[in-house]
Amino acid sequence: MENNNIAVGLDIGTTKIVAMVGKKDAYNKIEVLGTGRAKSLGVHRGVVNNITQTIHSIQEAVSEAESISGEKIQKVIVGIAGQHIRSLHHSDYITRSNPDKVIDENDIEHLINQVYKLVMLPGEEIIHVLPQDYKVDGQAEIKTPIGMYGGRLEANFHVVVGQVSSIRNIGRCIKSAGLELGSITLEPLASANAVLSQEEKEAGVALIDIGGGTTDLAIFKDGIIRHTAVIPFGGNVITEDIKEGCSIIEKQAELLKIKFGSAWPGENKENEIVSIPGLRGRDPKEITLKNLSKIIHARIIEIVEQVFLEIKNYGHEESKKKLIAGIVLTGGGAQLKHIKQLVEYTTGMDTRIGYPNEHLSSNSDTDLSSPAFATAVGLLMKGLSEFEKEAREEEKEEQIINSEEKSVPPEQPKRTVFDKWIDKFRDFLENAE
């Protein structure tokens, strides 16, 4: 029998694929039961470009997670990133048929569903519709309109859009790996849930997730997501630069970056040298650490400047939109030495490194609190919160059925794309019993 309280997050990254199995413990913290990781070979800049290899890597990560946790994995929550992701702002409204009734969740769902029907560019699909603030009968800046009276309900939305083909390819890989797709979440949103505190989201914060193939950005202010962006550079381009600049092979470049790399060239003396074994029968190469950190520095500056441009586009310079909590760095790239100082120096904003350990129970493996696992922990959290939401909905339905045994069933609200996924979820749970 399937344990209903267990969820699985699957982070399909450019450098690694991570499957994380977990459940909530008695203290509402997340207990990670098992984690599997595999080298990701079929993903380039966050987008699947080799289906067969990606399926193989997913299976490898999943079977490792299964053998550690002792659980059979069937349904996964997947993150999506990649250079095809873009976001836009949109306002929409509904006119309520009965303004004498208070606004409830169905009205908001109705409004959100309306946004899902927006006509996108050919080949694009809406992934998320995130409400920013509401207006009721012209009264602006309302955070939660539930319980208010009003005839016209308006809202500003942050809409995240992605390429249909890329989303389908991920779905295809999951299916061919023998798994079921629970739901798809934007990766920077997942990472944000894992590493940001509610206070930071209120004060205003920019989360920068430096992955292997992409750098993801999510900006929060007043507790609401305000801006998202995916920049098509990450740790891999740094490795490429080291490979080219020092004329060595990729494996050596990656090791050099991790072991000796620094984002701040000032601290290395001219005479600090690393010797790298030459290829078959050739002399070893000598590389100065100063040169190495100059190469890394140049590329990190480029990434940070692009991200900072996005932060400025959001409007960080305006006093109302100021990000008081500054920047939080996460993802594998955040482990680079002195990157915090460099980001602070370039942007002039307070910076900290985000570790996903706040939500993990004390007996979880310490390796999991590395910034490289932020997305996987966030996806796992999303999966667990979906279970809780479902349990609440089922409870509500039971109450309705009990109280209205003989009356007309309540009118069903229109279903969103996510609700349809959740339906599949339910069927699966019933069949698994």
Tens-digit pLDDT profile for residues 231-269: 988 999 999 999 999 889 999 999 999 999 999 887 777
pLDDT surpassing 90 at residue 176? yes
Residue-level pLDDT at 67 = 94
Task: State how far the Cα of 233 lies from the Cα of 44, in Å rounded to an integer.
Answer: 10
Residue-level pLDDT at 315 = 86
Task: State how far the Cα of 421 lies from the Cα of 147, in Å rounded to an integer.
Answer: 28
- How many Cβ atoms from other residues are within 10 Å of residue 393's Cβ? 13
Please report which confidence band the pLDDT of residue 1 belongs to, taking 50, 70 and 90 as the band edges: very low
pLDDT digits (tens, 9 = 90+) for 147-163: 999 999 999 999 999 99
Q: Is 59 left (phi over 0), alpha (psi -120 to 50) or beta?
A: alpha
Task: State how far the Cα of 74 lies from the Cα of 80, in Å rounded to an integer.
Answer: 19
Strands 86-95, 351-353: pairing is unpaired
Strands 180-186, 205-210: pairing is unpaired
Query: Token pair 């699957």 is at which residue?
Result: 10
Strands 86-95, 152-163: pairing is antiparallel
- DSSP, res 124: E
pLDDT digits (tens, 9 = 90+) for 357-413: 888 887 777 778 899 999 999 999 999 988 888 888 888 888 888 776 655 444 455
Residue-level pLDDT at 2 = 46
* Bridge partners of residue 78, in order along the sequence: 10, 184
pLDDT surpassing 60 at residue 432? no
Task: State how far the Cα of 94 lies from the Cα of 62, in Å rounded to an integer.
Answer: 44
- DSSP secondary structure of 171-205: HHHHHHTT-EEEEEEEHHHHHHHHH--HHHHHH-E
Task: State how far the Cα of 266 lies from the Cα of 124, in Å rounded to an integer.
Answer: 45
Lowest mean pLDDT among 37-41, 176-180, 414-418: 414-418
Lowest mean pLDDT among 36-40, 217-221, 402-406, 411-415: 411-415
Cβ(337)–Cβ(345) below 8 Å: no
Cβ(267)–Cβ(338) below 8 Å: yes
| pLDDT above 90: percentage of residues in the chain | 63
- Contacts of residue 373, defined as CB under 8 A and 6 or more positions apart, other chains included, come to 18, 20, 35, 356, 367
Q: Which position has the higher pLDDT, 210 or 405?
A: 210
Task: State how far the Cα of 382 lies from the Cα of 227, in Å rounded to an integer.
Answer: 20
Structure token digits, residue 237: 């381009």
Task: State mean pLDDT over 279-296.
Answer: 89
In order of their start, the domains of the chain are 247-297 (3.90.640.10)
Residue-level pLDDT at 254 = 92
Please report which confidence band the pLDDT of residue 433 belongs to, taking 50, 70 and 90 as the band edges: very low
Please report which confidence band the pLDDT of residue 38 belongs to, taking 50, 70 and 90 as the band edges: very high
| pLDDT above 70: percentage of residues in the chain | 92
Instruction: Give the residue from 156, 177, 192, 180 showing the smallest Cα distance to 81.
Output: 192
Task: State how far the Cα of 354 lies from the Cα of 338, in Å rounded to an integer.
Answer: 14
pLDDT surpassing 60 at residue 429? no
pLDDT surpassing 60 at residue 166? yes
pLDDT digits (tens, 9 = 90+) for 45-61: 888 999 999 999 999 99
pLDDT surpassing 80 at residue 65? yes
In which order are the strands placed within the sheet that holds 124-136?
Answer: 86-95, 152-163, 124-136, 139-142
- How many Cβ atoms from other residues are within 10 Å of residue 285's Cβ? 15
Query: Token pair 């606004």 is at which residue?
Result: 103
3-state helix, strand, coil in the chain (%, to 5): 40, 30, 30
Task: State how far the Cα of 308 lies from the Cα of 303, in Å rounded to an integer.
Answer: 9
pLDDT surpassing 70 at residue 25? yes
pLDDT digits (tens, 9 = 90+) for 317-360: 888 899 999 999 999 999 999 999 999 999 999 999 999 988 88
